[in-house]
Structure 1
């Protein structure tokens, strides 16, 4: 049966390039590391390392063995760290970014609730409608809405999100309600942060470019314009569902609504997440859906 300490010693010698450095990393003597590697070679029946007074060099067999074993050592250590973190408290600085309105209404109160539970934690909450590069700008978590495009990041779904095309009853006294996507060309469309609206046609995502006399990158401003009858707007559920329930807004083109859109917690691609990141995302998964308005 293969001994794990022999494999770990071999991997550390190769990774650090010296028996002495590996011994310091493993907190044992150099002779003990050398003995473990020799035992592994005897067990495998082959030479893994060429040893000289100045350096070590992998044999062909050693190179193959290292390629298969080094990620196992890393995975073992990740597993140990993950178990230790199960009971660890979130400490240090937690850096977050989110779109402005969603962050003010829904994320910030939950961040504050989390800090009440963990007063030893520090938080930096940056609200912006700009697409932030979380790696270059040093954020632990970004809260993003809609379809995700960056596959280099790790995403966890927090809750569902629906987008509606809405207009006020006042607006529809002057223009007919559209029933097909082609009819949007004859409507006054209020432009938000993008000039194309997303729909689903027979299960396939489709984008329709829209135009109109009004444009803003502010969600609340867009909502106010729609409520005052200035045109149609495409807005997420947490903006419009209370007004749909009250009758102040009317939803159109529901047959084409693109429902596969969610709120996500996005993090850099690390194998192991610190307790502050893991526990905060778990907290959002548990608490966020209950805070969002939902149409009855």
Structure 2
């Protein structure tokens, strides 16, 4: 097996024709350079330099050895540059999965912006509300919402999301404003995939069963129904907050709002987190914090 010890010192002396200058280039002592070169000569059983009190010159054998060593060191430097560039400039395949609606907005636009910064990436974004197996499906990371139940994955919290209960001013003018959880029973509550809503009361989580004349697994459809005054909805901020800000929807029961849920990035714990994935996670965390 090749022993690299002393090679850098030998090349530095050959190029500077001075042990002192070589030591300065390598930021080590002249004595250490001399010891390393002498040890290298001993291992090779040949003289690499002619030494006098005034100068140093490479022997014929030393010159041949230098040519090969220079090529080898250049190759090592090129390999190091390649790794450094890969860490600095993400490239190659990146496979991500995310929930459909949250993936459509804001994840997909942010990933598109990330690709604009790093066009050598080859991104595969798969939007699904199913919890796919990252290892079996070959995904680098998954975006998950709410409480996590997969302990086999590493997780990083990227942001938070808030659940709002809201209705349009038209609906509230016609049917009144609920001021307590018990009053929801008298209102048309537009349901998603579940027939109960999450709340907090006196520091404890409460699940309140609700009923209404629309049940749909599409958040946008429920927002549209609420905007048209059909009923009350409970949906995450990215669905309703823009309409709350414009006054088209009114936030209700704020004292009973459940604590914010996490927006998570999951990745397999038995994989080293590649620089491109780490850079994407940092980017998503920074950008989602602005929303």
TM-score (norm 2): 0.66
* 1:115-147 Cα shifts (integer Å, max 9, x gaps): 122222211011123333333332221112222
Q: Within 5 Å, which residues of 2 pair with 1:31-42?
A: none
Q: What is the rounded CA distance, in whole Å, between the counterparts of 1:194 and 1:150 in structure 2?
A: 21
Query: Who is 1:65 aligned against?
Result: none
Aligned length: 209
CA contact (8 A) 2:87 2:276 kept: no
Query: Who is 1:45 aligned against?
Result: none
* 1:163-221 Cα shifts (integer Å, max 9, x gaps): 10011111112322222222222211111132221112222222222221101111111
Q: Secondary structure at the match of 2:226?
A: helix
Q: Structure 1 residues 232, 212: closer, same or farther in 2, change over 3 A?
A: same
Structure 2 residue 163 is the aligned partner of structure 1 residue 163: yes
Larger radius of gyration: 2
Instruction: Please identify runs of 4+ aligned residues in structure 1 that moved more than 6 A.
Output: 83-86
Structure 2 residue 253 is the aligned partner of structure 1 residue 261: no
Structure 2 residue 184 is the aligned partner of structure 1 residue 184: yes
Q: Secondary structure at the match of 1:223?
A: helix
Q: Structure 1 residues 179, 287: closer, same or farther in 2, change over 3 A?
A: same
CA contact (8 A) 2:223 2:239 kept: yes
Q: Structure 1 residues 168, 123: closer, same or farther in 2, change over 3 A?
A: same
Q: Which runs of 5+ in 1 are unaligned?
A: 1-82
Query: Who is 2:45 aligned against?
Result: none
Q: What is the rounded CA distance, in whole Å, between the counterparts of 1:184 and 1:91 in structure 2?
A: 52
Q: Which runs of 5+ in 2 are unaligned?
A: 1-82
Q: Secondary structure at the match of 1:142?
A: strand
Query: Which is further off, 162-171 or 140-149?
Result: 140-149
Structure 1 residue 96 displacement after superposition: 0.8
